Amino acid sequence: MSLRIGRPKVKRGESFDLVIVGGGPAGLSAAIYASRFLLKTVVLTVDVGGQLNLTNWVEDYPGLGRIQASELVEKFRKHAESFGVNVVWGVEVKGVERVGDSTFKVTGTGGVEVYANTVLLAVGARRRKLGVPGEEELVGKGVSYCSVCDAPLFKGSKAVAVVGGGDSALEGASLLSSYVGRVYLIHRRDSFRAKPFLVADVKSRGNVEFLLNSVVTEIIGGEAVRAVKVLNKATGEEKVLDVEGVFIEIGFEPSIEFFKSIGLETDDYGYVKVDEWMRTNIPGVFAAGDAISTWRGFRQIVTAAATGAVAAYSAYQYLIEKGLYRSPDRT
């Protein structure tokens, strides 16, 4: 019996050399490399693109110049599929369980149940959202969750808002101040959690305005962001700021419970611990991309793709070392 999720399908009970969980840059890069090692590979993912679906344009991926994020996602997917990788979207993987000395059972929504000798987790990390009116509708239209990624796209803008009080928010405000006329830094507390030197740097910028004890209650716009509504929690005053972009930098949420259910070791923040070869504490299980503890403060497409490639190579080496590498004849 074949299970259809949109157009792709996977046979219930089918066996693979490698199951990749996650269809962002890390997962799809891993799929490309795994297929080049002639591993029978399937990608199971909720959606194709991961964090790329939260932005509009990409300017920092080597060799491609300025490209729409959706187009880059398609390039990743088609590249993987051109090597015969089955990319199955619409599936949320719920369990990874060892069922033998060298076999894992991977189960997911829609009745998905497949088996593999190796599993690569590239599930990313969910960016925390504000949950205010206008946010979802304006993602990619001025709402961004990555200042480092998207700041250059707002060059010449009159004003943008940055929401948050940690390192990423302060770094984003500092970077954006070089591109736009004014930056509103909105933080719900009266002090920042960011490193002191970052706070000092932003305070030295003449075009950054601090709005402390304040929260965004609405993001306003149609085809693009036009303004944000901000509430001062101390005074009760509410005002509307004209901005062309809103950068939400309030942190990430790793899939801690999912990782725990598998038995993976995580760091203090809940990200999967890996070594330099993307190996986890469970032999045969690898991790890559935003899900791992490595480079936690620098989440980029290129680094996700790099870790995916390394993880695929490690899975290939593991299969050889364990005598599990099958004949490359897939016909």
> Which residues are identified as catalytic?
146, 149-150
For residues 101 and 26, give the distance between their C-alpha atoms in angstroms, rounded to a whole number.
Answer: 27
Cβ neighbours around 92 below 10 Å, total: 15
Q: How many other C-beta atoms lie within 10 A of the C-beta of residue 295?
A: 13
CB 188 within 8 A of CB 214: yes
- For residue 91, the SS3 value is coil
User: How is residue 230 written in tokens?
Assistant: 């901000």
Q: Residue 113's closest CA among 7, 15, 255, 260? A: 15
The two three-digit tokens of residue 62, written as one number: 């080597």
3-state DSSP assignment of residue 151: helix
Asked if 37 contacts 316 with a C-beta cutoff of 8 angstroms, the reply is yes
Sign of CA dihedral 145, 148, 154, 156: positive
How far is Cα 122 from Cα 280, in angstroms, rounded to an integer? 12
The strand pair at 41-48 and 15-23 is best described as parallel
Q: Coil, helix or strand for 209?
A: strand
Residues 6+ apart with CB under 8 A from 184: 159, 160, 161, 162, 208, 209, 211, 228, 230, 241, 243
Count of alpha carbons within 13 angstroms of residue 331, beta-carbon side: 1
